[in-house]
């Protein structure tokens, strides 16, 4: 019973840290995917008196990915709906060119304003519409959620580290005598801390596996029943096989540091 409690005292804070790290990984993927989606659905509208090409606009700002010309006839027809063909011809003659300008990546409002200023300086361009407010309203909420999550994860980490330190003190008490006796008989640090390291590695493996089970459940069950369309349509973002490697490596690093500190604290310091 005491042994199970000792294991849980390390497994639970380790799991909390790993959950925090997995949340960061998942949220970074979701953020990146969401920004990509926003970027793909977004375009700056440019009205110009002259023809514009992608290479030309890229030479003005390398954040510009492509330029898509809008059909002038469709626009003119919409405007001249119910009028005579002569009116259409007259409007077509004076109608400027309309372009959708796509960007290479998601950009901040300041970045968009900078591009607008650069495009407005181009000779022949009459107007540039960046639709900045619409573009950013959803993303601002998203960033707020991300910031709150990060604060939560930092708090979780601090509490978890305190619990791990507490468990290190328990380890120190439990293993000190054995490690000191082994040192008197000439055991190197690796051998002295070997037993503790094995115990801690088992805890690290259990914590990693439990974490993976939780996130696989979220991916396969919870996300299907979720009301959030974005989550439903992007289940792959919720857990990657590479996450297992990342979590396991981090768990091992935490274990190695903890055991090393315990071993250092129990080592003999010659008097005199």
Q: Which of 36, 34, 54 is nearest to 46 (CA)?
A: 54
Cα distance between residue 154 and residue 20, in whole Å: 8
Nearer to other proteins, 82 or 270 (CB): 270
Nearer to other proteins, 228 or 269 (CB): 269
Nearer to other proteins, 123 or 185 (CB): 185
Shortest distance (Å) from residue 229 CB to other proteins: 57
Can you give the C-alpha Rg of the chain in angstroms?
30
Cα distance between residue 100 and residue 95, in whole Å: 16
Shortest distance (Å) from residue 8 CB to other proteins: 20
**What H or E segment, with its residue span, contains residue 45?**
strand 44-48
The most distant pair of C-alpha atoms in the chain lies apart, rounded to whole Å, by: 109
* Chain positions contacting other proteins, by CB under 8 A: 177-178, 181-188, 191, 268, 270-272
Nearer to other proteins, 38 or 189 (CB): 189
Name the residue with tokens 């903890």.
258
Nearer to other proteins, 55 or 272 (CB): 272
Shortest distance (Å) from residue 148 CB to other proteins: 47
Cα distance between residue 205 and residue 11, in whole Å: 9
Shortest distance (Å) from residue 13 CB to other proteins: 25
Cα distance between residue 19 and residue 11, in whole Å: 12
Shortest distance (Å) from residue 269 CB to other proteins: 9
Encoded tokens for 166: 């507490």
């Amino acid at each position: 019973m005491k042994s199970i409690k000792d294991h849980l005292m390390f497994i639970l804070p380790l799991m909390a840290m790993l959950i925090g790290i997995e949340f960061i990984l998942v949220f970074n993927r979701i953020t990146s995917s969401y920004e990509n989606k926003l970027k793909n659905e977004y375009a700056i509208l440019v009205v110009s008196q002259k023809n514009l090409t992608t290479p030309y606009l890229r030479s003005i700002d390398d954040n510009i990915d492509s330029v898509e010309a809008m059909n002038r006839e469709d626009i003119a027809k919409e405007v001249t709906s119910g009028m005579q063909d002569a009116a259409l011809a007259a409007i077509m003659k004076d109608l400027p060119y309309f372009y959708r300008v796509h960007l290479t990546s998601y950009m901040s409002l300041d970045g968009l304003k900078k591009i607008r200023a650069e495009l407005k300086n181009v000779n022949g361009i009459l107007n540039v519409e960046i639709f900045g407010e619409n573009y950013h309203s959803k993303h601002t909420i998203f960033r707020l959620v991300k910031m709150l999550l990060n604060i939560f994860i930092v708090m979780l980490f601090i509490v978890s580290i305190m619990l791990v330190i507490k468990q290190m003190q328990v380890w120190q008490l439990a293993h000190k005598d054995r490690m000191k006796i082994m040192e008197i008989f000439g055991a190197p640090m690796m051998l002295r801390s070997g037993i503790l390291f094995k115990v801690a590695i088992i805890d690290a493996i259990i914590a990693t596996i439990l974490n993976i089970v939780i996130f696989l459940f979220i991916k396969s069950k919870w996300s299907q029943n979720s009301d959030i369309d974005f989550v439903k349509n992007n289940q792959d973002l919720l857990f990657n096989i590479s996450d297992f490697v990342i979590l396991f490596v981090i768990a091992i690093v935490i274990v190695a540091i903890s055991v090393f500190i315990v071993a250092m604290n129990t080592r003999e310091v010659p008097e005199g």
